[in-house]
């Protein structure tokens, strides 16, 4: 079963709030015949379009291929949160890779947020960056680590934009009985992700990149030049950038052993109005909680609650996405248990064992950047810029990211899904304890 069509119609965006309200781009043509370029980019999401834009800005002739539409995948469906640093907190990274490397990774994560902020200032990107992400804890025992982490980030990294929230202030900001405190990070924020990816496409095209939709890549042949093959086209390219994330499939076995697709789901409520929004989440902050199967939520610019939660590991989405997500939403906000839901959608993202992105040179001139594990708005976008740098001969940031060890999933591509389901059942039980 193909994840590109398992839950969606060919050439159509999902029934998401984002796609419903956005002014989508006119369809791009299908790639046909023999094409040549400096760089062929596979995947028209954050990574691929950012790579195309930054490469075209450097004067490269760029072709972008997408099996569906621009922003069709996780880039156009996600929760829109733009988190500081990496998906793994700094104290965890220090244990994983050492303090010096962890500091380099922090700097790169901060640069990712800066890049997204700067992109939203461009007229091609019709999205506003909203400051502030609250990370809540669902168990009081986790609050001690929050206090230690805020102090750690101030003392070792000089980062003063994050502060501790006690239970009362957390309840004041997030009107939910489910949480026992948390942190507020004003260096982070949130954005409409679909508008961001559409804006990246406009920037890429205006810079000279050629985008082709409904052009599924079936093979990438190593060589100089490399050859990228679709059903109806053959593209010769000096370099290839693979920006497929959860949709890579088994196109490259070594990456597939390290990056696994999972599905996540979001609903949008009817517009609740400005006053009701303030009664639920003050100051238009985004929120993510401490559960392993994370709940994340924020308000849209027209005052709808966008609530994400629940995961699945098979190919198919549940028949009733709205019902599946309503359950955790009602647990967090009992006052919304009967609220009208007007959009419900799912999407596929790529995760790694350690929740860090997986960078790999599949050969000297073929780069793969994926496995953003839910932090793709910032790191996926920056990864495209980093790919462009590496192709231009400035590979320092690529190498810093590539040095992070990425373990293979137990069981390989065939057995990883049932093994992960067993693991997730355990983590789900732990969340309840």
Helix, strand, or coil here: 59? coil
CB 379 within 8 A of CB 352: no
Alpha carbon distance 243, 218 (integer Å): 14
Given this model, what pLDDT does residue 386 score? 98
Q: Is the dihedral of CA 106, 108, 114, 117 positive or negative?
A: negative
CB 326 within 8 A of CB 346: no
The closest alpha carbon to 133, from 171, 80, 75, belongs to 80
Quickly list DSSP for 248-288: -TTSSHHHHTT-EEEEEEEEEEPP--HHHHHHHBGGG-EEE
Which CATH number applies to 129-187+261-349: 3.30.9.10, 3.40.50.10320, 3.40.50.300, 3.30.365.10? 3.30.9.10
Given this model, what pLDDT does residue 283 score? 98
- Domain boundary assignment for the chain: 129-187+261-349
Given this model, what pLDDT does residue 380 score? 98
Task: Give me Rg for the CA atoms of the chain.
Answer: 21
Which neighbouring-strand residues pair with 306?
A: 268, 298
Alpha carbon distance 427, 433 (integer Å): 10
Given this model, what pLDDT does residue 412 score? 59
Q: Which helix (H) or strand (E) holds 148?
A: helix 143-157
Given this model, what pLDDT does residue 2 score? 83
Q: What is the pTM of this model?
A: 0.95
Query: Tens of pLDDT along 183-214?
Result: 999 999 999 999 999 999 999 999 999 999 99
pLDDT along the chain (433 residues), means of 10: 86 96 97 98 98 98 98 97 97 98 98 98 98 96 96 98 98 97 98 98 98 97 97 98 88 85 95 98 97 92 95 81 96 97 95 94 94 96 98 98 92 57 51 52
DSSP summary character for residue 329: H
Diameter of the chain measured on Cα atoms: 64
Given this model, what pLDDT does residue 420 score? 57
Given this model, what pLDDT does residue 188 score? 98
DSSP 3-state percent helix, strand, coil across the chain (nearest 5): 40, 25, 35
């Amino acid at each position: 079963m193909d994840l590109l069509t398992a839950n969606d119609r060919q050439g159509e965006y999902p029934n998401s709030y984002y796609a419903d309200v956005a002014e989508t781009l006119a369809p791009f043509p299908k790639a046909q015949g023999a094409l040549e370029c400096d760089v062929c980019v596979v995947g028209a999401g954050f990574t691929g379009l950012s790579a195309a834009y930054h490469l075209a800005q450097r004067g490269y002739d760029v072709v972008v291929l997408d099996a569906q539409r621009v922003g069709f995948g996780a880039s156009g469906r996600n929760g829109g949160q733009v988190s500081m640093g990496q998906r793994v907190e700094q104290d965890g990274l220090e244990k994983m890779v050492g303090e010096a490397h962890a500091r380099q990774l922090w700097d790169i994560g901060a640069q990712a947020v800066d890049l997204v902020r700067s992109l939203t200032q461009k007229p091609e990107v019709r999205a506003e960056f909203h400051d502030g992400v609250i990370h809540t804890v669902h168990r009081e025992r986790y609050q001690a680590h929050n206090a230690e982490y805020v102090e750690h980030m101030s003392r070792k990294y000089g980062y003063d934009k994050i502060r501790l929230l006690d239970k009362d202030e957390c309840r004041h900001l997030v009107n939910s009985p489910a949480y026992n405190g948390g942190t507020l990070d004003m260096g982070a924020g949130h954005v409409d992700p679909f508008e961001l990816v559409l804006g990246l496409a406009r920037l890429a095209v205006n810079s000279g990149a050629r985008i082709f939709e409904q052009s599924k890549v079936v093979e990438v042949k190593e060589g100089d030049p490399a050859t990228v093959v679709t059903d109806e086209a053959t593209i010769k390219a000096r370099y290839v950038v693979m920006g497929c994330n959860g949709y890579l499939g088994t196109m490259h076995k070594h990456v597939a052993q390290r990056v696994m697709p999972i599905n996540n789901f979001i609903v949008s409520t009817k517009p609740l109005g400005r006053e009701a929004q303030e009664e639920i989440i003050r100051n238009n902050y985004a929120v993510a909680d401490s559960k392993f199967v994370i709940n994340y939520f924020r308000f849209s610019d027209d005052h709808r609650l966008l609530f994400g939660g629940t995961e699945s590991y098979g190919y198919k989405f549940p028949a009733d996405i709205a019902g599946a997500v309503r359950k955790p939403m009602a647990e967090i906000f009992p006052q919304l248990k009967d609220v009208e839901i007007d959009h419900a959608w799912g999407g596929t993202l790529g995760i790694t064992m350690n929740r860090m992105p997986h960078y790999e040179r599949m050969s000297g001139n073929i780069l793969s950047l994926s496995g953003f594990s839910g932090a793709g708005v910032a790191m996926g976008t920056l990864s495209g810029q980093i790919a462009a740098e590496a192709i231009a001969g400035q590979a320092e940031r690529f190498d810093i990211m590539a040095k992070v060890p990425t373990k293979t999933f137990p069981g390989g591509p065939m057995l990883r899904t049932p093994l992960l389901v067993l693991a997730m059942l355990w983590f789900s039980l732990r969340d309840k304890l």
